[in-house]
Amino acid sequence: MANPNGNPQNFIPMADRTLEERKEIARKGAEATNKLLRERKTLAEELLILLSQGNVQEKISLAMIEKCLKGDTKAYEVIRDTIGEKPKDKVENLNIETTYEDYINKVVDEDEY
């Protein structure tokens, strides 16, 4: 393996390697990526299983509420967003029948002071 100790003198650019070496390096990289993806999937599955058991979700929700009541604004934002009260999610377009030209004229009028 090139550059095992972080020594720049041991670095061999990919362009200077043989086709077989490049394929082997790519294969090892793909194996490492696939292993990481499997581990991430396993973690997500494990969390979903744990959340579905007993009253884990209830305990987490109560802990978030307690943090919120103690002044943790991030906890408040998470609770607000989870229950669908996120401000930018509530934006409505009431000018559905506005033409493009009307919109441009409106923007130009608003830009004038």
What pLDDT tens digit does each residue of the chain (113 aa) get? 445 556 666 788 888 899 999 999 999 999 999 888 888 888 888 888 888 888 898 999 999 999 999 999 999 999 999 998 887 755 566 656 777 788 788 777 776 55
CA distances from 2 to 7, 17, 29, 56, 108 (A): 9, 10, 14, 47, 60
Contact indicator for 3, 13 with CB cutoff of 8 Å: no
Task: Give Cβ neighbours of residue 12 (< 8 Å, ≥ 6 apart).
Answer: 2, 3
The three-state secondary structure class of 25 is: helix
What's the pTM value of the predicted model, to 2 decimals?
0.41
